[in-house]
Structure 1
Amino acid sequence: MVQFHIQSDSDIPASTQLYNQILFAIASRQYPPGQRLPSTRQLAMQTGLHRNTISKVYRQLEEAGVVDAQAGSGIYVRDQTNEGNAKVKSPILDQHPEAYTLVQSSLDELLKQGCSLSQARELFLAEIDWRLRCSAQVLVTAPNHDIGAGEVIMRELERALNIPVQLVPLEELAQVLDQTRSGTVVTSRYFIAQAEAIAAPKSVRVIPIDIYDFDAEIKLIRKLAKGTCVGLVSLSSGTVGVAEVIVHSLRGDELLVMTCQLGDSYKLNAIVRSAHTIISDQASCAAVKAAISAARNDIIRPPQLVCCENFIITKSINLLKRELGLE
């Protein structure tokens, strides 16, 4: 505990001596923001002053905005950082009250690293400008053997973000990036390593998206009766392959599994006529419904069609909106 000393023979009043000493202890961070100051009883024992005098000093410190008195708890050093934020007036602070604190802490860290204010400003502006340029062009990539996965992502992003999105095969990504100054490449985590290796030398960033976990569909698969025929339809051949593996891992040979990539009308018609349950992604749902409708006169019982939720999870969509400055 900080030791305070009162000179009884001084011309300076005892309360003033204690006030100045406490103020110095706070200013020198011997008592950092948020720390509790000694009780009036503790200070009375240390300094020999009456507790009323000490209470008066604490009231003066509170009026000066240095401390806060919390009833039943004690006297605490005020954290004036947030008050300092009030110097910056912006409607952004009303929406994001913690934003200025984050900016301030980041700036403080740059200054500690030896940057000047001018250099820090240049770094912030350069990063913001780069992100804005990257947001001007959004590319979705996937390898040619599963370009359908990229098309699913592209469709969902265009619908969710309401901006143009270009689909580029992974094998052609380097060539496309050579012709652009900046951009944002979006892909599934399945292909993120390959995309980053291609984009690393370029002025682009790569953002991975997380796909839907298909929890509801997995629960459905678990409940299907033994011997049920299940159809799996997707625009993405990779998604169909992974889905088939998952179904087999859950039920083994208990279920008959038929798969189809959208565009293969022969397989789709076979699934419609044989399957009890068809699980489809959103991109293929309309085509499956049309195939069921067209075959209605040839089948006794139409299959149950389950259209999965979006391929991309909401969290990834929201992240992209923030990164692209669309929120």
Structure 2
Amino acid sequence: MSPLFSLFLLHIIVSAAGAQLRPHYYSESCPKAEAVVRHVMKKALIREPRSLASVMRFQFHDCFVNGCDASLLLDDTPTMLGEKLALANINSLRSYEVVDEVKEALEKVCPGIVSCADIIIMASKDAVALTGGPDWEVKLGRLDSLSASQEASDNVMPSPRANASFLIDLFGKFNLSVKDLVALSGSHSIGQARCFSIMFRLYNQSGTGRPDPVFDPKFRGKLNKLCPLNVDQNVTGDLDATPVVFDNQYFKDLVAGRGFLNSDQTLFTFPETRAFVQLFSRDQHEFFKAFVEGMIKMGDLQVEQQGEVRRNCRVVNSRHPVTPRTCL
């Protein structure tokens, strides 16, 4: 897939599937579905709190690439380069085994019913709710893709070096507003990121050979110790001061010059996004409300394609296309 075609594809991503997506989709076919997902996510939280932040990010990295279809979860095959090794995902996304555990539990209760794409949506919501964030009703009824594309992911997903202007344009292609962009960036309220993502900010911002001048000096000193020039760049640092609690601390940190990623801190330095950062730093309720609205809008992203309900989220059931699911 060429970059030009990928950009064109962004414009045809639609929420037409919203006609088939609805709350309580599995109320008859698998009434325990959402409870099963929540149970597995609770176990994951106890086992490794960071895994919830990792699972939450699956929705972003899946839905932005040809819609919410669980293409992200497919392993490579001899004839297909999937998305797991795409630039934005390799050595970054993790905890795929949590989704495997959810799928295994659901297959025991109602085999062949709940799609992996819907699992991502439910698990992402649970990751937020179980770490102190808002809870909300999710729309379900997605099918799983029959393929994945590393190139499509590389052509779409932003770099941690991205600035606010680039991000505004990118989100706009998905009919997501500036407010949506800032609120959804608040997903970095939980979790960690690698030193790899900030070395340029610490030592060579914009090719100057100097650190990013917007860093709070004490915070920069802390990061210099965490990520010296000779560091293993897979070492991780917290994305905000409360990395296992979903709250508005992320925005307070941006206001104070303590954003970890360039793509985060730029939201405060850029005029068009600054007001929302300031609002959310003062009012957690407004942040939670906007975040839920953004997650629902992002969950509606779809493309017209055939699919199936995978039995194993890592591989397709067959290469034979399945008629898209329709609302009963």
Give me the TM-score of the superposition, normalised by structure 2. 0.22
TM-score by length of structure 1 reads 0.22
Largest Rg, 1 or 2: 1
Name the structure where strand makes up a greater proportion of residues. 1
